[in-house]
Amino acid sequence: MTRALTRATERPLGRASSPDRPDRHVAAAAVWVSTALAALGGALLETAFPGLSWWWAAPVAIAILLLVLRRDSIPAGLLTGATFGLTFFLLHVWWADSAVGQPIGWIALAASQAAFISAFGGIWVWVRRARWLHHRPGRQILAATVIWVTIERLRGRWPFGGFPWGGLAFSQTDGPLLRLAPVGGTALVSAVVVMSGALMTTLVGTGSARRQAAVGLAVLLGVMSGAQLVRLPVAPEVGTLRIGAVQGNVPSAQIDFRARALQVTANHAAGTGALLDSAGPGTLDLVLWPESAADVDPRSDAVVAAAVDGAARAAGAPILLGTQRFGGQRRFNDYILWEPGAGSLASYTKQHPVPFGEYIPYRSFFRHLTRTVDRVGTDMAAGSGTALVKAPIARLSRSVPLTTVICFEVAYDELVRSSVLAGSEAIIVPTNNASFGRTEESAQQLAMSRFRAAEHGRAVVQISTVGISAVIAPDGAVRQRTGLFTGEQLIDELPLRTSLTVADRLGSWPGLLVDLAGAVLLGSAVLGRARRRSSR
């Protein structure tokens, strides 16, 4: 069966050796087989992410994709990649349908991301034609890995700031490869996933290539097994931080903006009271509220300020909370530090607003396609600086620097890393998942928070308006978590850490080296094609 499958995927797409009808039927059947396999691989890749979190499915899915891409046809490669990518992203980001309220946003997002996987398919078929790659499985494995990671990194940066959601590294938080996060971050973990899949594909071959792939896969599995035994450091280095996190929930009834915002703030104030019933007044160093806990800005609204300050005074501790600030025709997503009796002393402004969710690029153009763009009435503008807030902690007699990436920003490598390099001792991820219903969006975000914990060796608190909220140890293990659409509180003592991981010290270099290698591969393919043309 394996040999038959290989012959079917290796037959050139749409290219028959004779005009005989049976040959055309075989070619058409090969197209359907390739398309079905690509769709199967995309669906399998989704199972590697929450909620199933079958981490092993990711390399198997990549193996299926590379197997189908053995056909020496660039159009077939583009089609295969598009089918694989569209199947995966339609499943992975279907929460966008819930957020937008119409399928056009979900389909457009999935299609735009699938275009990158389609590009991978076409580029891989084109690049591997180079003489130095032809019939050299070892080199092909490395080349496929480099091209995938290069395109994945491009997808995370462009267009409109990129969309790193669905990166292979974030599928590995329940597997042994999480231990590689503090070594090389997302670039290394994604690369190992692709390399594993490429080795599996080579096993379908024959002769020495098959034997070499078996040895390579055995070595890789040995490394993964050994990595599982590695214990990442979790002990505090500069003390601990006693935190209380409040998930206040949101009203289910449809009410006007101000009434809804005041109710959400009241929920979090009441949740703080429930938190103190468990912890006791004066026992907490810091209280955490989520993004959008006070959509009416307490810095300019006396009613909201009284609610926030009352909760802070009752806790006897500062509160970190999310709010919105309006200026002219723009709004800003702020995470502010509120001191009891003193008000807001510090803040961070979100730097990566979500395109088509928090602002509409080229609004007049996209309005011709759909009027749903006008659901975003006032565009959110980007902030600047480092995602870091220093919280004064009386018990420690010092200010504790905390990473404060907001919601989707946890997916951006550089934004989190820069705050850790600036001195962050723990990571806070305030988020508002109310628009995504009971989808896997919040669980997917939790997987990213877990990856960041292990990558940087920092405790992480993901605090949401409606869940999932969680406290995560510096090795990525979940210590506590909440459910969806509940009012709950978390109390924990975070280990504060200052040491830097290898990934922190290397910074962006691993990714930049992969980008350079990808550019070299593309350049060599272009030069090789030019030489072949000139020789003809």
Range(s) of the domain holding residue 347: 240-357+369-498
Q: Is residue 506 part of a domain?
A: no
Q: Is residue 413 part of a domain?
A: yes
**What pLDDT sits at residue 16?**
38
Residue 518 in tokens: 């990808």
On whether both 121 and 247 belong to a single domain, the answer is: no
On whether both 227 and 247 belong to a single domain, the answer is: no
Q: Cα–Cα distance between 72 and 375 in angstroms, integer?
A: 46
**What pLDDT sits at residue 14?**
34
Under 8 Å between Cβ of 335 and 406? yes
On whether both 293 and 277 belong to a single domain, the answer is: yes
Q: Is residue 364 part of a domain?
A: no
Domain count, the chain: 2
- Domain of 427, CATH number, reads 3.60.110.10
Q: Is residue 503 part of a domain?
A: no
**What pLDDT sits at residue 261?**
96
Q: Cα–Cα distance between 405 and 411 in angstroms, integer?
A: 9
Which residues, 6 or more positions from 460, have their beta carbon under 8 angstroms from its beta carbon? 426, 427, 428, 429, 449, 450, 452, 453, 470, 471, 472
On whether both 271 and 203 belong to a single domain, the answer is: no
CA dihedral 27, 30, 36, 39 (to 10 degrees): -90
Q: What is the chain's pLDDT, residue by residue, as a tens digit (536 residues)? A: 444 445 444 443 333 344 555 677 777 777 888 999 999 999 999 999 999 999 999 999 999 999 999 988 999 999 999 999 999 999 999 999 988 878 988 999 999 999 999 999 999 999 998 888 877 888 999 999 999 999 999 999 999 999 999 999 999 999 999 999 999 999 999 999 999 999 999 887 666 677 777 787 888 888 777 777 778 999 999 999 999 999 999 998 888 999 999 999 999 999 999 999 999 888 999 999 999 999 999 999 999 999 999 999 999 999 999 999 998 889 999 999 999 999 999 999 999 999 988 998 888 888 877 777 888 889 999 999 999 999 999 999 999 999 999 999 999 999 999 999 999 999 999 999 999 999 999 999 999 999 999 999 999 999 999 999 999 999 999 999 999 999 999 999 999 999 999 999 999 999 999 999 999 999 888 887 777 777 76
Q: Cα–Cα distance between 408 and 406 in angstroms, integer?
A: 6
Q: Cα–Cα distance between 304 and 275 in angstroms, integer?
A: 20
User: What secondary structure letter does DSSP report for 359?
Assistant: B
Q: Is residue 426 part of a domain?
A: yes
On whether both 127 and 227 belong to a single domain, the answer is: yes
On whether both 313 and 252 belong to a single domain, the answer is: yes
Q: Residue 218 CB: number of other CB atoms within 10 A? A: 11
Question: Active-site residues: which are they?
Answer: 291, 350, 407
β-sheet bridge partners, residue 286: 243
Q: Which of 216, 170, 166, 176 is nearest to 195 (CA)?
A: 216
Q: Cα–Cα distance between 411 and 409 in angstroms, integer?
A: 5
Q: Is residue 508 part of a domain?
A: no
Residue 255 in tokens: 């009410």
Q: Cα–Cα distance between 340 and 311 in angstroms, integer?
A: 8
Q: Cα–Cα distance between 79 and 93 in angstroms, integer?
A: 21
Give the ranges where 343-412 is alpha helix by DSSP (H). Answer: 363-367
**What pLDDT sits at residue 207?**
66
Under 8 Å between Cβ of 392 and 318? yes
> Which strands sit side by side in the sheet containing 343-349, from one edge to the other?
343-349, 330-339, 319-327, 286-288, 240-247, 488-495
On whether both 217 and 247 belong to a single domain, the answer is: no
On whether both 65 and 183 belong to a single domain, the answer is: yes
Q: Is residue 116 part of a domain?
A: yes
Residue 105 in tokens: 């946003």
On whether both 407 and 523 belong to a single domain, the answer is: no
Residue 136 in tokens: 């050299």
Please tell me the pTM assigned to this model: 0.93
